[in-house]
Structure 1
């Protein structure tokens, strides 16, 4: 193997590179919460957290932690200049009402038609509840997914023809960022936009249950 997969911070940084100036973005728990750490200070991206934060900033330095300022995953965050707090009901009205330019969610699996499965089916898996994911998946204008390409332990692919986990939402995913590649959902299925250095098409296909397409 001549390639080195991205770590979780690397996936988050890769997503941050692609978010345009001025977008209003929600970050789900897990890998997505790290995206705000990698957006340059001179680029204005407004991050929303469904617990009621608008204008969330990157993680604070250890000596700058505000114990009462957290995101939806209970991680400590900062507040960017102009940021604000809103009522929980208002925050979910934003999530459901088509006001978000983008939502980035973690997932267990994504299917080639854009279906997403991101909550657990057994007690030994980390996410036991769907939380606000269903609202965000159908309420945001775009949905990107951040996840590792292969499952831990079993080595199965998360890039699927059909999801084997319970669905969070159908046909909503636009793009998938993994530790190996960036994939776009197209009428033909998964289209490959980018791969990590050193990886071949054959190696990426071997690690993907669904058929991949290159343009």
Structure 2
């Protein structure tokens, strides 16, 4: 039995977990969950009762929800990958600080923009949410630029699961066109280096249903129905 990541499309934050799995070298499968229809279905609630992605079914059959928990699990299962620094070290503390900021402030800054778009708001309500969202997105980019400083990667001298998660959220700016990332030189440089990573190319292709070449140990897709019925032969 292999881990199965349930990832949401389109533009889900699950993107970072796919990148992390590619970097980990662990064998894994993927299950595609369309949003909002499938993710809110009673079938998917059997996987995740709160109807969110990503979710991870572990190799021993447990279910892990929430990106932070999933990324920590992947790191723990692949200690040689460096995705998560050793527990109890200063690097581990800093990694968790960065990942928590990404999962709260950075993620949430885009929420007003997504809400306004998904609910087809117009007039003053739309303008208020858009103005709020644009302000929040610029602020968190400035904060993250200061946090990154002269480090090559978000948590220090090597890439970690925090960088994978960052890429999944940072691309939302390309969708909403809030800012020019070049106004934040350190973040822009990080983004461009991550953009060139084969694992990022793979995750993008997977999301868009394109031919995807794994550099990790990807074993194929499985259907939600087959997971629920206990038959998970990859396609």
Question: What TM-score range do you get, normalising by the shorter chain?
Answer: 0.3 to 0.5
Return the structure number with greater helix share: 2
| TM-score normalised by the chain length of structure 1 | 0.33
Q: With CA pairs under 8 Å and 6+ residues apart, which has the higher RCO, 1 or 2?
A: 2
Return the structure number with greater strand share: 1
Computing the radius of gyration from Cα coordinates, the structure with the larger value is 2
